[in-house]
Each structure stands twice: as structure tokens, then as C-alpha cells.
Amino acid sequence: MSTLQPAKLLAIDVVRLAAYGLKARPLRVILSALGIAIGIAAMIAVVGISTSSRAQLNQLLSELGTNLLSAGPGKSMFGEAATMPPESIAMLGRIAEVEMVSAIGVLADARIYRSNRIPVSQSGGLAVYAARLNLLETLSAEVAVGSWLNEATANYPAVVLGARAAARLGIGRGLIGQQVWLGGRWFTVVGILAPVSLVPMLDLSALIGWPAGERHLDFEGDITTLYLRTAPDAVEAVRSILAPSANPKAPNEVDVSRPSDTLAAEAAADVAFTGLLLGLGAVALLVGGIGVANTMVISVLERRAEIGLRRSQGATRGHIRMQFFGEALLLALLGGGSGVLIGALVTIGYAHVMGWPVDIPLWVPAGGMAATLLIGGIAGLYPAIRAARLAPTEALSVG
């Protein structure tokens, strides 16, 4: 005697049934998928923008190097402002691992203005420094417009402006050769620097030659900051002896730092901030999952007649369960796929605007889709079980 075997529901059939169920309610599907799409897009964009930013920082550090050290006068034991001995440049240059040494000295009483008619109080917060000729080479900085100081112009009233200083003074590409009022006399602008990533304070500075400062502005040669490049593998060794080498009489009055540490700290802060934003994205994704669950529960209530009809035609509880579970997964996948695409486009667009390399780790979209499947599976589990428990007679009577 033969027994009836329940019909088998193939995977392709589950997909078709799920697609049919979603297609019949397009507006509700779009609104439900939107919640998951927003959560996934937020997570993809946050991680993508963060990793692209770090890639830019790492690229910048690779180009500029992490072997730049700086030293400046700190405080004396009595809390007074210390000074650096003039011979410190030569003393540091004698260290075998030091490749080059440069320095700047602030002219505290000098101010720079676009013209001599500008009120004294409107200095724009710009600083004036005397600079050694090898400063740009030491800092791996570049001139955006014009030229850097040379042996000739360093002796005369010529000035090179930082990028932001030039903008505040209204000096652009076509105004090289323009005169500005600096320290009570006219100086000629010979160049404008590109932004100096390792020493951003120079972006708001005006740089004149060391001899010109002494000749025209009573600069006494006091060193504000020393910059030195070391052999890449000798940074810590040189750092440990930099203070006693620069000022043997009072090494405790020398402040030593590595400018690239600031960029590294930015990258570390970026990681912490990314974690916070990821948490917010996860909350949005959870809300999207609740929306999917709500949609599926309502769908079960509205489609009791359909469930009863299918059960009366031989569909098993497992078939019904798989149908609604498949709908939840497909709905979540639609939202997750859209979210990955939107997040990637946002990352690419933002990185392009900022001039960063695009860096979206493969684990980010993979993790996003995995989270989508998990959320969809959890959201669809209860509605699927509830649909499967409906008896055919009960479902048809309600329909």
C-alpha cells in the first residue's frame, strides 16, 4: 500500500514565493527595506570614510616621513621662558644620525598687513618668523606659487607666506611681487607655501630670511623651534640625546617632540569616533529589523486566507514557515544590498571631494550583508512560525 509523500519545496521555489509575496505589496516593502538600508548605509559610510581618512594620513606620513623631530625652549626651573643657545644648530648638526637641521625664530613685535592703511588691531593672528634657508627641505614642504627664499632674497625685505596667511591677506596666485606692510616697512611677496601638514602653524605665518630679520627688523637670532631630520631607524636614539645636545647647560629647558605624532593621534582619535558612529549605525539597523518584523507580522494577519488555501492544497507547516521566513530574508537582503550600495557611493563621493584615496575594507560590505541576514532571520522567525501554526479551517474561516 503506497503512502502519500508531502511535496518538496525547492530553494528556487522558496525564492519565487518570497518574491511574489513582496511584489504584491511594493510600498510596504520599500518602507520596510528603507530602515535596514539606512542602518547598513550608515555603517558602510562611517567605516569607509574613516578608513579612507586613515589611508590618507598613512600616505601622508609615508611621503613626509616620521623621522622629523622638533625642539624648542621650554620653561626654566623658576617657571620663566627659557632660550635656546645660538650654537645649538651647529651642535645638533654634529650628531652622525642627523641628516639636516633647520630653525625658525619668531619676531614677536612684527605684524603683517596687506597695506599700511590697515588698523594695527586687525593683524589677523598672523605670526612672523625668520627662517633658515633649508627649512622647506627639512620639513618636506613645498612652494605652491612663486619661489622660496634664496641666498639673495634672504638678505632683503622679501617674504614667503603660509597658505592660510596668504588667503587672509588676499594674496593670490596672480599677486606674487605684491608688497605687504611687515614690521613697519614694505616687504615683497616672493612665494606662497602649500599647506605644511607636519607643522600647520606655518600655514598662518609669514617667513622672512634670517639675515633680513637681523638687518631690517632688529631680530636678535633667538631660536623659537629647531627642526631636524634623522636617519629613519635612529629617531628614538636621537630623540633621547636631542635636549642635552641642543642645550648642554640646561637640557631640562628643552621641549622635544615629533610632529608626526600629531597625525598619528588624529588617526587614533578617528578610530574611537568611528566606534561611536558604528554604534549609532547598529541602532538604526536594529530599528530596521524591528520594521521588518512588524511588516511580516502584519503580512501574516492579512494573508490568512492565502495560508489556509495553500494548506488545504497540501502545503505543509514547513512550507508555510519557509515561505514567510524567505520573505523576511529577501526583504532584509533588498534593504542590505541597497544600503551597501548607498554607503559605498557616499564613501567614494566624500573621498573624491576631500582628495583621499578610497579605502573600503572587504569585511565591511561582507559584515553588513551578514548582519542583514541575521537581522532578517531573527525578524522573520516569529511571523513564519505563527503563519505555520494556523490551521487550514481557521485560516479559511477568517478569510
Q: For residue 264, what pLDDT is reported?
A: 66
Q: For residue 51, what pLDDT is reported?
A: 82
DSSP 49-75: HHHHHHHHHHHHHHHH-S-EEEEEE-B
pLDDT digits (tens, 9 = 90+) for 302-361: 666 776 677 666 677 777 777 778 777 888 888 888 988 998 999 999 889 888 888 888
pLDDT digits (tens, 9 = 90+) for 86-123: 889 889 988 889 999 999 999 988 999 999 888 888 88
Which residue has better confidence, 236 or 25?
A: 236
Range picked from 215-224, 308-317, 375-384 for highest mean pLDDT: 215-224
- Local confidence band at 290 (pLDDT 50, 70, 90 cut-offs): confident
Average pLDDT over residues 241-252: 88
- Local confidence band at 399 (pLDDT 50, 70, 90 cut-offs): very low
Average pLDDT over residues 36-41: 83
Q: For residue 328, what pLDDT is reported?
A: 79
Are the beta carbons of 273 and 357 closer than 8 angstroms?
no
Nearest to 246 by CA among 98, 136, 77: 98
Average pLDDT over residues 9-15: 67
Which residue has better confidence, 233 or 210?
A: 210
> What distance in Å separates the CA atoms of residue 48 and residue 60, rounded to the nearest whole number?
18
> What distance in Å separates the CA atoms of residue 283 and residue 287, rounded to the nearest whole number?
6
Mean pLDDT score of the chain: 82
Q: For residue 1, what pLDDT is reported?
A: 46
Lowest-confidence segment of 47-51, 153-157, 194-198, 259-263 by average pLDDT: 259-263
Average pLDDT over residues 380-385: 75
Are the beta carbons of 48 and 364 closer than 8 angstroms?
yes
pLDDT digits (tens, 9 = 90+) for 189-199: 999 999 998 88
Nearest to 212 by CA among 235, 190, 233: 190
Q: State the DSSP H helix or E strand holding residue 352, giving kind and residue range, or none if neither.
A: helix 317-354
**pLDDT of residue 4 exceeding 60:** no
From residue 64, how far is each of 57, 136, 199, 351 by CA, in Å?
10, 12, 11, 21
pLDDT digits (tens, 9 = 90+) for 175-219: 888 999 999 999 999 999 999 988 889 999 999 999 999 999 999
Q: For residue 126, what pLDDT is reported?
A: 93
Are the beta carbons of 156 and 212 closer than 8 angstroms?
yes
Sign of CA pseudo-dihedral 166, 169, 175, 177: negative
